[in-house]
């Protein structure tokens, strides 16, 4: 009998699960994710599988991850350069391209194609060469996107080859990521892909290193955002496909674990809460592409709404509202940091001995990755001081202008803060006991004192404060569940800001009001993730609905990773070419045919061949092919005039070495 290993690398924990060929779960384990050395977290999870079979009997390894999702939610990523072919500067306003660049370099060069895939003019190779030579020392990767490149990718390919020859750095082309016609969103997707390549590459290198240690020769697969699998090679090239990988794996895992045909799946990790609706046994794919961290990409994914709320969300005091907030940023829990560095407890005790708390009380910072290339002298000097080890921010600086420098280091993903989190509240209340209780207690005392000194609530003791934090997280959990249902339910409009505030007040029973509203869900909640048991029962009570916490819910992502299938598609469009003639927009350029049906036959044949090749390259075995044809016509008086046809072939199958 063969066995299959599922892995999930999240923001806080790395999970592992072993199943047999009949997909019976044999063992599961968790280990802390080690961001500065990812193989340690993977190794800890695999070695925690007490009942693991001989590693030589493993026939498939499949990995899901929230690293890409978390990076976009938190605004992290490496510096990249964007080359736009045939774009006008006004198009930068669409898809928030300018905001997404966040100061990274970009250039407009001539070129591009028309809607029929015909060249407008040659790409300006000299302008591109000058740009690359000027910015190459400050960036880690490149993204290239051309107007109508999905109709003819020739110019994107030429510029890609030029940049690769000049720099040897990774280059992402927009047409590889989407067949959609929205050029600015396609450019955004390419930009995000380039930014994620170093991060996902490090994870996959760590996974392959672990397999080598255990002499596992099975193929390594990675979960895409739509819940399907791709090979590690494809994931390295197109890491943006892994945004919502973790959430998609959790949906697949929930389907496997739970028999309810219609449920709301909510997966709370360390950084995010990911919510999806399964209706009649099927998760819905987002027809507009995945939206993560405010970025509306063209990546096909399960329709998951991602919120910056998790067990390691930063608990911060808002001086405007005089209340505590949770998220959206993740920090290392104080209890965890104190377990790893017990000498830092003295820093917290020294802060508590002072007569007052500051905005940086109970906050530390540590290195999180290698130094980025685009930092100022001030930022580099600050990074060098942080490299000495985890350091209290109060000790690091008192000059508030350095807060901006620290935020820039966080944005680039090279440092990480530690502070009070919901996980610390769980330690104070005895709900969790994995780490150092004293660190959580001292952090709570500092936070309580800061609240009282800034017109906030006064707490009697740290347990009362911790209970209020857990209540806050449960209320925010209920709000994200309601928000998701309102957005997914076709008979309901999404909440506006006033409605959100009104519903939020109804969930907060401490709010004094002359009237009360009752929010109620008519769909069960499946709570997944390690923190779910701490918050979802109360969230369910607030919403008057059933909460299901299935066995193995804590490793649902890893389980979803190993039970998934490979799915690859190819789309070819057909456009009118005058009279009855049509132009089939093949990937290597347009070709004319005498009539539509002749063009459809040619498009279907190539679609099948290309989808099959993609699925095989992704690692699939024993493929099933399905076709879809969508014809679009426009009315011209009493007649219907052909406008476009889209031919889609989808190839599906299980990984080659699995059953």
Give me the residue spans of the domains in the chain: 3-72+200-308+556-562, 78-199, 323-456, 565-655
Q: What is the pLDDT of residue 66?
A: 80
pLDDT digits (tens, 9 = 90+) for 239-293: 888 888 888 888 888 888 887 888 899 988 888 888 988 888 777 777 777 777 6
Identify the CATH assignment for 78-199 out of 3.40.50, 3.40.1440, 3.10.450, 1.10.3470: 3.40.50
pLDDT at residue number 143? 92
- Residue 32: per-residue pLDDT: 87
When the pLDDT of each residue in the chain is averaged and rounded to a whole number, the result is: 86
Give the pLDDT confidence of 220-234 residue by residue, as tens digits.
999 988 888 988 888
CATH for 3-72+200-308+556-562? 3.30.420.40
Residues 598-629 have pLDDT tens digits of 999 999 999 999 999 988 888 887 899 999 99
Select the more confidently predicted residue: 293 or 88.
88
- Assess whether the region 3-72+200-308+556-562 and the region 78-199 belong to the same CATH fold: no
pLDDT band at 579 (very low <50, low <70, confident <90, very high): confident
Task: Please tell me the predicted confidence (pLDDT) of residue 430.
Answer: 95
pLDDT at 513: 61
As beta bridge partners, residue 367 has 415
Nearest to 258 by CA among 652, 16, 546: 546
Residues 575 and 552: their CA atoms lie apart, in Å, by 50
Give percent of the chain above pLDDT 90. Answer: 37
Measure the CA dihedral 416/421/423/428, to 10°.
130
Rounded to a whole number of angstroms, the distance between the first and last alpha carbons of the chain is 10
Measure the CA angle with vertex 587, ends 581 and 593; round to 5°.
Answer: 15
CB-count burial class (<10 Å; 0-12, 13-18, 19+) for 295: buried
| CA–CA separation, 122 and 112 (whole Å) | 8
Secondary structure element (H or E) that encloses residue 393, with its range = helix 393-396
Query: Which of 214, 233, 229 is CA-nearest to residue 3?
Result: 214
Of the segments 104-113, 183-192, 254-263, which one has the largest average pLDDT value?
A: 104-113
Tell me whether strands 13-20 and 25-32 are parallel, antiparallel or unpaired: antiparallel
CB of 648 within 8 A of CB of 571?
yes
Q: Is residue 515 scored above 90 in pLDDT?
A: no
**What is the distance between the alpha carbons of residues 261 and 247, in angstroms, rounded to a whole number?**
18
Taking residues 338-352, report their average pLDDT. 96
Nearest CA among 299, 354, 314, 373 for reference residue 138: 373
Q: What is the pLDDT of residues 383-441, one digit of tens each?
A: 989 988 899 999 888 777 788 889 888 887 789 999 999 999 999 999 999 899 999 99
Q: What helix, strand, coil percent values describe the chain, rounded to 5?
A: 40, 25, 35
Residue 209 scores a pLDDT above 70: yes
Which whole number is the average pLDDT over 530-543? 88
User: What confidence score (pLDDT) does residue 252 get?
Assistant: 87
- pLDDT confidence of residue 489: 67
SS3 for 331-374, per residue?
Answer: CEEHHHHHHHCHHHHHHHHHHHHCCCCCCCCCCEEEECCCCCCC
Residue with the bigger pLDDT between 43 and 420: it is 420
**How many angstroms separate the CA atoms of 330 and 74, rounded?**
8
Q: What is the mean pLDDT of residues 642-658?
A: 85
Q: Identify the pLDDT of residue 88.
A: 85
Count Cβ atoms below 10 Å from residue 50 Cβ, excluding itself. 8
Q: Does residue 590 have a pLDDT over 90?
A: no
532: its two tokens: 């779910």
| Section 178-182 average pLDDT | 77
Q: What is the pLDDT of residue 511?
A: 57
Task: Tell me the CB-side half-sphere exposure of residue 21, using CA atoms within 13 A.
Answer: 7
**pLDDT: is 207 or 372 the higher one?**
207
Please answer whether residues 559 and 17 qualify as being in contact, where contact means their C-beta atoms are separated by less than 8 angstroms. Answer: yes
pLDDT band for 496, please (50, 70, 90 cuts): low
d(C-alpha 267, C-alpha 246), whole Å: 9
pLDDT confidence bin for 49, thresholds 50/70/90:
confident
Task: Determine the pLDDT at residue 528.
Answer: 87
DSSP symbols for 17-48: EEEETT--EEEEEEEE--TTSHHHHHHHHHHT
Binned at pLDDT 50, 70 and 90, residue 498 comes out as: low
pLDDT exceeds 90 at position 238: no
Which of 183-197, 277-291, 366-380 has the highest mean predicted lDDT (pLDDT)?
A: 183-197
Instruction: Give me the pLDDT at residue 645, please.
Output: 92
Q: Which of 67-81, 169-183, 354-368, 420-434 has the lowest mean pLDDT?
A: 67-81
Of the chain, the percentage scoring pLDDT greater than 70 comes to 93
Mean pLDDT of 524-537: 88
Q: What pLDDT does 468 receive?
A: 95
């Amino acid at each position: 009998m063969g066995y299959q290993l599922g892995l999930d690398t999240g923001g806080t924990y790395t999970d592992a699960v072993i199943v047999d060929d009949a997909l019976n779960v044999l063992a599961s384990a968790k280990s802390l994710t080690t961001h500065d050395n990812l193989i340690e977290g993977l190794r800890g999870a695999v070695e925690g599988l007490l009942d693991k079979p001989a590693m030589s009997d493993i026939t498939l390894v499949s990995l899901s991850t929230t690293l890409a999702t978390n990076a976009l939610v938190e605004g992290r990523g490496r510096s990249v350069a964007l080359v736009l072919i045939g774009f006008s500067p006004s198009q930068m306003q669409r898809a928030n391209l300018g905001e997404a660049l966040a100061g990274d370099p970009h250039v407009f060069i001539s070129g591009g194609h028309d809607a029929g895939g015909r060249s407008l003019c040659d790409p300006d190779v000299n302008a591109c060469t000058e740009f690359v030579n000027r910015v190459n020392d400050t960036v880690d990767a490149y993204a290239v996107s051309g107007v109508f490149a999905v109709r003819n990718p020739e110019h994107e390919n030429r510029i890609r080859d030029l940049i690769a020859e000049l720099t040897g750095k990774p280059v992402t082309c927009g047409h590889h990521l989407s067949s959609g016609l929205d050029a600015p969103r396609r450019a955004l997707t390419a930009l995000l892909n380039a930014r994620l390549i170093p991060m996902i590459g490090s994870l996959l290198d760590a996974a392959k290193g672990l397999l080598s240690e255990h002499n596992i020769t099975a193929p390594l697969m990675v979960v895409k955002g739509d819940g399907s699998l791709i090979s590690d090679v494809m994931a390295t090239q197109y890491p943006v496909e892994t945004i919502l990988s973790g959430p998609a794996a959790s949906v697949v895992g929930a389907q496997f674990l739970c028999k309810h045909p219609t449920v709301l799946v909510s997966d709370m990790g360390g950084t995010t809460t990911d919510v999806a609706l399964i209706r009649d046994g099927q998760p819905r794919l987002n027809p507009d592409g995945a939206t993560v961290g405010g970025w509306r990409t063209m990546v096909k994914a399960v329709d998951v709404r991602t919120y910056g709320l998790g067990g390691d969300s930063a608990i911060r005091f808002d001086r405007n509202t005089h209340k505590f907030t949770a998220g959206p940023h993740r920090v290392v829990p104080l209890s965890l940091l104190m377990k790893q560095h017990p000498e830092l407890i003295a820093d917290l005790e020294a802060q508590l001995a002072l007569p007052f708390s500051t905005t940086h009380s109970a906050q530390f910072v540590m290195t999180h990755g290698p130094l980025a290339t685009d930092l100022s002298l001030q930022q580099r000097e600050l990074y060098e001081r942080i490299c000495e080890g985890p350091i209290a921010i109060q000790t690091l600086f008192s000059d508030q202008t350095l807060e901006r420098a620290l935020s820039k280091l966080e944005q680039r993903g090279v440092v990480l803060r530690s502070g009070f989190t919901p996980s610390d509240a769980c330690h104070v209340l005895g709900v969790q006991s994995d780490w150092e209780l004293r660190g959580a207690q001292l952090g709570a005392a500092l936070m309580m004192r800061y609240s009282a000194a800034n017109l906030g609530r006064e707490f009697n003791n740290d347990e009362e404060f911790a209970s209020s934090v857990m209540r806050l997280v449960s209320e925010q959990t209920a709000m994200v569940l309601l928000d998701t249902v309102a957005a997914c339910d076709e008979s309901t409009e999404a909440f506006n800001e006033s409605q959100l505030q009104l519903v939020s007040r109804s969930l907060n029973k401490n709010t004094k009001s002359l009237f009360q509203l009752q929010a109620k869900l008519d769909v069960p909640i499946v709570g997944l993730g390690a923190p779910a048991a701490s918050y979802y029962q109360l969230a369910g009570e607030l919403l008057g609905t059933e909460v299901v916490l299935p066995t193995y819910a804590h490793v649902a992502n890893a389980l979803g990773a190993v039970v998934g299938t490979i799915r690859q598609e190819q789309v070819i469009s057909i456009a009118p070419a005058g009279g009855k003639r049509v132009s089939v927009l093949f990937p290597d350029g347009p070709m004319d045919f005498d009539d539509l049906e002749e063009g459809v036959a040619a498009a279907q044949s190539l679609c099948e061949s290309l989808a099959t090749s993609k699925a095989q390259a992704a690692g699939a075995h024993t493929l099933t092919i399905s076709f879809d044809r969508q014809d679009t016509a426009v009315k011209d008086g009493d007649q219907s005039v052909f406008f476009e046809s889209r031919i889609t072939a989808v190839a599906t199958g299980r990984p080659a070495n699995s059953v």
